[in-house]
Chains A and B, each alone.
Chain A
Amino acid sequence: MNTIAAAIAIGLGVSMPALAIGLIGSRAVDAIARQPEATSKIQLNMILAAAFAEGLGIFSFVISILLLNK
């Protein structure tokens, strides 16, 4: 039962941050295409925003590991 719970937690918990990171990346590429001279600033902010989105995925990863070790 714990294995299934861990699988659901990691599966659902990673899909949403994946969507978020995809959106962040696509918008950043849009912005860079429109304004190539601002590339470094856009990249910096993109990495920071992606880090926030990815942190949520990491939470579900930690929870699934906790479930497996129970």
Chain B
Amino acid sequence: MMPGVPVTNTMITLWLVSAILIILALVLRRKINMIPSGFYNFAEWALGGLYGFMEEVGGKAAKKHFSLFITFFLTILFSNWLGIMMGMVAEESGFLRAPTSDLNTTAAFAITAFIYFEYQGIRAHGAIGYAQHFVNLKALFTKGPMGVIDFFTGLLHIVSEIVRPLALSLRLFGNIFGGEIVLTVAFLLFSAVLPLPFMMLEFLIGLIQAFVFAMLFLVFTSLNSAHEDEHTEPEPTKDELPPQVAISVG
């Protein structure tokens, strides 16, 4: 942190990330064309690939979450990569370092995601219907002994719901912060060639972690907003895998 000023070095990097993203968006907007070429072509290919991934996980209904999904992905990706490119160390004394190596930033991202997918849950089921997910009094009184089991699984859902933002923020923070520590140690040991493979690894981890954060956000959102009683999607055929993994606590 800079002395005396409540502006941290991670905040400056985050502003830099925002500036880069806004400039990219403005530049790409002017080049919209039916026949793509050059960098615009690459951007269109990347966005199209991400959209395909998103549709595989969330189905067609996930289309309305795409804007927040892509915002999370791009912001985290650019933060991670900017952190490595500027030769940052995992200390607070540096002028710039990766925003995601600060728990405050990742917690802000995770809380935003948490509020969004809770809101989607309430919007899909109604406030009472959504609360019944967790405190299932109806099953307790109507279903008899099996209702007791339903009631306690509902209580377990509360825990898994609370752990989600915690795990999201800690996963991102731990990966990037740990990576920076590894890079710092590698630089201290032998600064000529030794850090290079670690930097390659960190670039890969930055990409994967951005993808994982955005994907988990999407999975939680589509789990919360899924209607259990109305199946509009066709049943998966025999050679097709079910679209989602079973999500447990953690």
Contact = CB atoms under 8 A, between A and B. Distances in A.
Genuine A/B complex: yes
Interface of A: 35, 38, 40-42, 44-45, 47-49, 51-56, 58-59, 61-62, 65
Interface in B167-221: 167, 170-171, 173-175, 177-178, 208, 211-212, 215-216, 219
Interface of B: 53, 56-57, 167, 170-171, 173-175, 177-178, 208, 211-212, 215-216, 219, 239, 241, 243-245, 247-248, 250
Contacts of A41: 56, 241, 243
Nearest to A56: B250
Nearest to B245: A45
A17 to B, nearest CB: 10
Contacts of B174: 58-59, 61-62
Interface SS majority for chain A? helix
Contacts of B53: 44
Given A44-B57, A51-B215, A61-B174, 19 more contacts: A38-B239, A41-B241, A42-B241, A44-B215, A47-B211, A48-B245, A49-B245, A51-B216, A52-B247, A52-B248, A53-B250, A54-B175, A55-B167, A55-B171, A58-B175, A58-B178, A59-B170, A62-B170, A62-B173
A38 B248 CA distance: 23
- Ranked nearest first, the 6 interchain pairs of A and B with the lowest CB-CB distance are A58-B174, A51-B212, A55-B171, A45-B245, A55-B167, A61-B174
Contacts of A45: 241, 244-245
A32 B137 CA distance: 44
B180 to A, nearest CB: 12
A47 B208 CA distance: 8
B170 A55 contact: yes
Nearest to B241: A41
A58 B215 contact: no
A48 B177 CA distance: 21
A49 B245 CA distance: 7
B142 to A, nearest CB: 34
A58 B171 contact: yes
B103 to A, nearest CB: 9
30 contacts: A38-B239, A38-B241, A41-B56, A41-B241, A41-B243, A42-B241, A44-B56, A44-B57, A44-B215, A45-B241, A45-B244, A45-B245, A47-B208, A47-B212, A47-B215, A48-B219, A51-B212, A51-B215, A51-B216, A52-B248, A53-B250, A56-B250, A58-B170, A58-B171, A58-B174, A59-B170, A61-B174, A62-B170, A62-B174, A65-B177
